[in-house]
């Protein structure tokens, strides 16, 4: 996993730092990239509901492999995406007359050469199937009892259905006949919320609200004879959106809560939230497809991300969201199975920035603040530009251009939406070299990602607008530059302390001494000293208040420090009773 990779190779950056840069910069865009960067760069559909004009959404992802391709389904996406390699995505747009694609949170399974689909319903739903989903042809099979947020599990010759989405009702399960889809068991109650003991299930951006959480998004995975029932809480609109876990030796339970929950969470960073998704395999590697929360213009303003996941030697399931919106190796590749992601750091965070123009309340600094909920908005969509000073020569490997939708009024799958731009690099901020040209791109890529064949040296990066058809004001959430700086990595963080709230064991405060050269920290924690699978990024300061712990277990903590030149892992691990 990414967070345990060695950073010894970063010494190479110091060696390269002794070389004088040439005046011209040569950069080659990778035609066969090895990496991707969350959130996924998909043509996310705009809302159709009243008041949702100009707001993109996608959530509740299901990924299945069918023949030699992968299918990605998501709520309210007017179809689904097909990819052979996780680089190129084909959006298959489906009318409701063919498939009830506008239903939320579909259940999808593959069986006997067919893909089966049923959407969320209020009690009865038609199951459809296709043997050529890339062509958008589907046929009805039969009506079943499906309810809200359904999920299938094919277990040998048996079929199980899990469902539920409510602040009051539990997650349910029942068995179906795999051939006829008829019910062959009674309904079983699997789990429900326990927000008094499970702090992460409490609603709110900081688990601070009193109302009951939504327990939803069931997903079942069988692994080595154990059944892993995952579920989402407390609500899709918060950064605290995450997936918890119950386990059993039977697909129908009884189920036991796993104290390491949540097993998929990302409460901080550029793109936050990691709930209501699925586990899927690409090659030998497990991945978590998850829902991210933006939820500024509408609570359902969301995106999708993939994170490496695994079962450890003891069968504990975990998802690695450590700096999870930094570049990862592509699913299904040898590097992904071994390493998770390259050691490329974010070079642009909070660096000096200039822009051609800005709206008064949407300044250029928003484009480097590592927050998807803010954006820089230009005064027009013509000859606009944004320039970032990395403060020193760096070795640049990739750039992610994250567009906002300020002023957009599109609905559904609007035609003729695209973003054209050029990227430039410079040593001195005066003489510029073209490093990537997207001026002839007519596709909708709101989170465009450019990987380079090899690192190149530069201090300044400039994005230049060519065409923007979404609105009269071009806007960027963040311009994110990845690679390696040439300075020293931070010193090792010292003095880590953890104090549990005596009135609420689900909360704790962590403090540590500032590390020399640190630009940020990552707190790792878990319920055993060798299982620090959860993480929380700290962008400012050297203190963290955790609000989503479980009341019962002893926790263990460590803190890492990072800057543009790399990560240094904390050497002390402390416990908290």
Chain segment 397-445, per-residue pLDDT in tens? 999 999 999 999 999 998 899 999 999 999 999 999 999 999 999 999 9
CB 506 within 8 A of CB 199: yes
CB 355 within 8 A of CB 387: yes
Can you tell me the distance from the alpha carbon of 485 to that of 482, in angstroms, rounded to the nearest whole number? 9
State the Rg of the chain over Cα: 23
Give Cβ neighbours of residue 563 (< 8 Å, ≥ 6 apart). Answer: 345, 485, 487, 489, 490, 517, 518, 519, 520
Please say if the pLDDT value at position 11 is more than 50: no
Please say if the pLDDT value at position 564 is more than 60: yes
- Count of beta carbons in the 10 Å neighbourhood of residue 503: 6
Please provide the distance, in angstroms rounded to a whole number, between the alpha carbons at the two ends of the chain: 27
Q: pLDDT digits over 343-353, tens only? A: 999 999 999 99
Report the candidate in 541, 499, 538, 542 with the shortest Cα–Cα distance to residue 522: 538
Q: pLDDT digits over 520-533, tens only? A: 999 999 999 999 99
Mean pLDDT within 367-385: 98
Backbone angles phi, psi at 492, to 5 degrees: -70, 130
Tokens at 117, concatenated: 């689909």
Beta pairing partners, 216: 232
Please say if the pLDDT value at position 243 is more than 60: yes
Domains of the chain are 10-32+345-484 (2.60.120.260), 57-339 (2.115.10.20), 489-576 (2.60.40.10)
Per this entry, what is the length of the chain? 577
- Count of beta carbons in the 10 Å neighbourhood of residue 123: 8
CB 557 within 8 A of CB 343: no
What is residue 337's DSSP assignment? H
Please say if the pLDDT value at position 10 is more than 70: no
Q: pLDDT digits over 499-515, tens only? A: 999 999 999 999 999 99
H-helix or E-strand spanning residue 16: helix 11-16
Can you tell me the distance from the alpha carbon of 506 to that of 502, in angstroms, rounded to the nearest whole number? 10
Can you tell me the distance from the alpha carbon of 204 to that of 235, in angstroms, rounded to the nearest whole number? 8
**Percent of the chain residues topping a pLDDT of 90:** 93
Q: How far does Cα 184 stand from its chain's mean position?
A: 37
Q: How far does Cα 322 stand from its chain's mean position?
A: 11
Can you tell me the distance from the alpha carbon of 327 to that of 305, in angstroms, rounded to the nearest whole number? 12
- Count of beta carbons in the 10 Å neighbourhood of residue 540: 9
Can you tell me the distance from the alpha carbon of 44 to that of 571, in angstroms, rounded to the nearest whole number? 42
Mean of all residue pLDDT scores within the chain:
94
Predicted confidence band of residue 23 (pLDDT cuts 50, 70, 90): low
Q: What is the dihedral of CA 291, 523, 538, 301, to 10 degrees?
A: 10
- What integer pLDDT is reported at residue 309 of this predicted model? 97
- What integer pLDDT is reported at residue 9 of this predicted model? 36
- Longest CA–CA span in the chain (Å) reads 73
Please say if the pLDDT value at position 5 is more than 70: no
Helix ranges, 159-294 (H): none
Report the candidate in 87, 90, 85 with the shortest Cα–Cα distance to residue 282: 85
- What integer pLDDT is reported at residue 337 of this predicted model? 76
Please, how many CA atoms are within 13 Å of residue 430, restricted to the half-sphere of its CB?
2
Query: Is the link from the previous residue into 234 a cis peptide, with omega within 30 of 0?
Result: yes
Can you tell me the distance from the alpha carbon of 278 to that of 205, in angstroms, rounded to the nearest whole number? 23
Can you tell me the distance from the alpha carbon of 288 to that of 57, in angstroms, rounded to the nearest whole number? 19
3-state secondary structure 529-540: CCCCCEEEEECC
Q: Does this model's pTM top 0.75?
A: yes
Please say if the pLDDT value at position 3 is more than 80: no
Instruction: Determine whether 441 is exposed, middle or buried from the number of CB atoms within 10 Å of its CB (0-12, 13-18, 19+).
Output: middle
Whether the CA torsion 452, 457, 463, 464 is positive or negative: it is negative
Mean pLDDT within 315-338: 94
- What integer pLDDT is reported at residue 2 of this predicted model? 46
């Amino acid at each position: 996993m990414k967070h345990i990779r060695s950073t010894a190779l970063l010494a190479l950056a110091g060696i390269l730092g002794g070389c004088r840069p040439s005046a011209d910069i040569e950069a080659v865009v990778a035609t066969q990239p090895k990496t991707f960067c969350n959130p996924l760069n998909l043509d996310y559909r705009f809302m159709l509901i009243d008041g949702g004009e100009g707001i993109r959404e996608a959530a509740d992802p299901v990924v299945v492999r069918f023949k030699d391709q992968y299918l990605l389904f998501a709520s309210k996406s007017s179809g689904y995406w097909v990819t052979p390699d996780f680089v190129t995505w084909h959006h298959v747009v489906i009318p409701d007359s063919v498939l009830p694609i506008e239903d939320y949170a579909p259940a999808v399974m593959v069986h006997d050469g067919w893909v089966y689909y049923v959407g969320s319903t209020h009690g009865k739903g038609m199951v459809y199937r296709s043997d050529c989903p890339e062509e958008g042809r589907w046929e009805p099979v039969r009506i079943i009892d499906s309810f809200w947020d359904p999920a299938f599990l094919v277990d040998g010759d048996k079929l199980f259905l899990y469902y539920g989405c409510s602040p009051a009702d539990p997650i349910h399960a029942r068995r179906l006949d795999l051939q006829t889809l008829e019910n062959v068991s009674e309904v079983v109650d699997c789990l429900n919320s326990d927000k008094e003991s499970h702090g992460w299930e409490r609603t709110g951006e900081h688990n601070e609200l009193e109302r009951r959480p939504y327990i939803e998004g069931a997903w079942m995975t069988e692994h080595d004879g154990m059944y892993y029932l995952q579920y989402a809480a407390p609500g899709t609109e918060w950064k605290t959106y995450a997936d918890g876990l119950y386990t059993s030796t039977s697909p129908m339970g009884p189920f036991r809560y796993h104290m390491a929950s949540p097993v998929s969470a990302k409460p901080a960073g550029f793109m936050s939230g990691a709930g209501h998704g699925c586990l899927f395999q690409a090659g030998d590697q497990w991945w978590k497809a998850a829902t991210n929360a933006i939820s500024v213009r509408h609570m359902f303003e969301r995106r999708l991300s993939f994170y490496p996941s695994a079962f450890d030697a003891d069968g504990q399931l975990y998802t690695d969201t450590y700096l999870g919106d930094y570049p990862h190796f592509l699913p299904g590749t040898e590097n992904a199975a071994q390493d998770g992601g390259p050691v490329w750091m974010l070079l642009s965070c909070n660096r000096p920035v200039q822009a051609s123009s800005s709206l008064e309340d949407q300044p250029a600094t928003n484009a480097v603040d590592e927050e998807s909920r803010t954006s820089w908005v230009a005064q027009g969509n013509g000859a606009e530009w944004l320039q970032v000073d990395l403060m020193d020569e760096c070795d640049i490997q990739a750039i992610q251009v994250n567009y906002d939708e300020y002023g957009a009024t599109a609905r559904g799958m609007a035609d003729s939406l695209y973003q054209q731009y050029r990227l430039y690099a410079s040593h001195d901020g005066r003489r510029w070299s073209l490093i990537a040209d997207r001026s002839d791109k007519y596709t909708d890529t709101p989170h465009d990602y450019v990987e380079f064949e090899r690192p190149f040296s530069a201090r300044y990066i400039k994005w230049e607008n060519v065409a923007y058809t979404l609105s009269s004001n071009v806007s960027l959430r963040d311009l994110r530059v990845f690679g390696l700086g040439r300075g020293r990595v931070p010193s090792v963080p010292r003095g880590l302390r953890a104090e549990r709230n005596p009135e609420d064991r689900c909360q704790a405060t962590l403090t540590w001494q500032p590390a020399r050269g640190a630009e940020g920290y990552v707190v790792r924690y878990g319920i055993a000293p060798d299982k620090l699978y959860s993480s929380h990024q700290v962008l400012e300061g050297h203190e963290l208040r955790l609000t989503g712990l479980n009341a019962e277990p002893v926790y263990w903590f460590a803190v890492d420090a990072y800057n543009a030149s790399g990560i240094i892992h904390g050497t002390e691990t402390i416990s908290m009773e």
